[in-house]
Amino acid sequence: MAKTPVYKRVLLKLSGEALAGPEKFGIHSEVLRMYAREVKKVVDLGVQVALVVGGGNIFRGISKAAYEMDRVSADYMGMLATVINALALQNALEKIGLFTRVQTAIPMEQVAEPFIRRRAIRHLEKGRVVIFAAGTGNPYFTTDTAAVLRAIEIEAEVILKGTKVDGVYSSDPMLDPNAIKFDELTYLEVVKHGLRVMDSTAITLSMDNKLPIIVFNIGEEDNLKRVVMGEPIGTKVRG
């Protein structure tokens, strides 16, 4: 293992469901604090960290609750849910001494900064954690796609997708005891086999821009630190 981080700038993607913890809805305070501590360990190493968080713990545009809604309206509601999560993360990070900024794709100046690429990069260079909220600001695009887009824009070296499992499997390991874990995959293998890494738009965007993705279990202590230090945990997706 390297003695210094192998990445200088990363984008961490968290699902909204990850913030809910065992409750499966809303924001679980201890889970929130745990994620904040894990991020701080990486920032303390000198790594520049950006975050994108989903909103599925509050509202998803493709959920049952949105079934009879206009898709565009439902997606905007989902974007607003990500802002709630971003503010919760900001609060948890600042309580343990980190400096942060929330930038939103939908302007709401009283709550957060608008997304401005150069400003985001400057915050990262100053050691601030930047949390990107409201997806891309457009309906029909997931927060996975938003994460890839923002990572490319800020010139992150890798996307770290924190999940509840320790990598990508051939099928759901919670349901199939014979599921096979992959240590490494290509973008094309992910698309061809329909593996649940990110949606196809996000994978294609990553492939076109040669942006690697590492899927790992963020619920295990020090895993985020281990990833940025170059330990071979989780599943790496690249060309």
For the stretch 200-225, pLDDT in tens is 999 999 999 999 999 999 999 999 99
The model's confidence at residue 2, banded by pLDDT at 50, 70 and 90, is low
In this prediction, what percent of the chain has a pLDDT beyond 70? Answer: 98
Given this model, what pLDDT does residue 3 score? 82
pLDDT exceeds cutoff 80 at 73: yes
The model's confidence at residue 160, banded by pLDDT at 50, 70 and 90, is very high
Domain ranges of the chain: 9-238
Residue 212, token pair as written in the block = 């690697």
- Which residue(s) pair with 2 in the sheet? none
If you average pLDDT over residues 5-25, what whole number do you get?
A: 91
Q: In angstroms, rounded to a whole number, what is the distance separating the alpha carbons of residues 47 and 99?
A: 14
Q: Which residue has the higher pLDDT, 175 or 46?
A: 46
Q: Which residue has the higher pLDDT, 40 or 63?
A: 40
137 and 205 Cβ atoms separated by less than 8 Å? no
Amino acid identity, residue 66? A
Given this model, what pLDDT does residue 61 score? 67
What mean pLDDT is reported for the chain?
A: 93
CATH superfamily of 9-238: Acetylglutamate kinase-like (3.40.1160.10)
Amino acid identity, residue 139? P
CA dihedral sign of residues 157, 80, 96, 119: positive
CA dihedral sign of residues 228, 51, 11, 239: positive
